[in-house]
Every structure is written in structure tokens, then in C-alpha cells.
Amino acid sequence: QVGLVESGGGLVEPGGSLRLSCIASGFNLDNYAIAWFRQAPGEDREGVSCIGRGDGPYYSDSVKGRFTISRDNGKDTVHLQMNSLRSEDTAVYYCATATTYCTWNTIYYESWGQGTQVTVSS
């Protein structure tokens, strides 16, 4: 079975941390750029972070300095370490793969996970 599965979401207080994971099955992440997107209710899906085959990492201005993306090609896994979380980080987080370079344009991403909910609230 070919796909992406996210995990690690949950409820956390403002200022807290979470580590999201995206595991690929059925294909080798070495050949792809991998991005994290998020979507809050009523909002468009927005790019958060991306790490390419030879470029990146990249971060949106809203998470720069707080989030860190890393990839473990040997385990076909990408992580997103999220620190100093804020209420505005609340969203469903998705990982996605693209054969192009990193981009925030969702049309270039061929595979998507099912998403994991992150809620930042006291």
C-alpha cells in the first residue's frame, strides 16, 4: 500500500511543544520534496515547512524560529518539531510529497496524508 501517514498531533497549552511525524509506505522519500501544510476551519490550506531533495529547509514566516523540519531517509520519515506553540497554530496538519522542488503551491504535491489535528488551547 502506497501512502503517507501523519501522527503526533494532540492538545497542548500555549507555549508547549509537539513533534509530528510523517511516515511513507510503499515509496522512497529520498526522491521527493516533503512539505507540511496546515488548514484551520474556514481557512485555505497553507504551507508551513518544506525540505527538498537538495534544497531547504523552508519555513513560513508565521512559524520561522519555532518549527523545525527534519527527514530520516533511512526510515522514510519526516518530522516537524513544533515549539512555542500558539493558539493560531491550531489546525489539521498534513504532509505531502512532490517530485519538484519545494513550493507552497499545493497543485505540485501528488501524495497527501490524512492529517493530524493540532489544538493549542489552555
pLDDT-wise least confident of 28-32, 62-66, 86-90: 28-32
Sign of CA dihedral 67, 47, 113, 76: negative
Structural contact between residues 18 and 9, judged by C-beta atoms closer than 8 angstroms:
yes
Question: Which residue from 36, 37, 48, 56 is spatially nearest to 101, judged by alpha carbons?
Answer: 56
Those residues with Cβ within 8 angstroms of residue 46's Cβ, 6 or more apart along the chain or in another chain: 37, 38, 39, 60, 104
Q: Does residue 45 surpass a pLDDT of 90?
A: yes
Highest mean pLDDT pick, 53-57, 71-75, 111-115: 111-115
pLDDT mean over 114-122: 97
Q: Is the pLDDT of residue 1 over 80?
A: no
Q: How many Cβ atoms sit within 10 Å of the Cβ of residue 111?
A: 16
Q: pLDDT value at position 53?
A: 86
In this structure, how many other beta carbons lie within 10 angstroms of the beta carbon of residue 116? 22
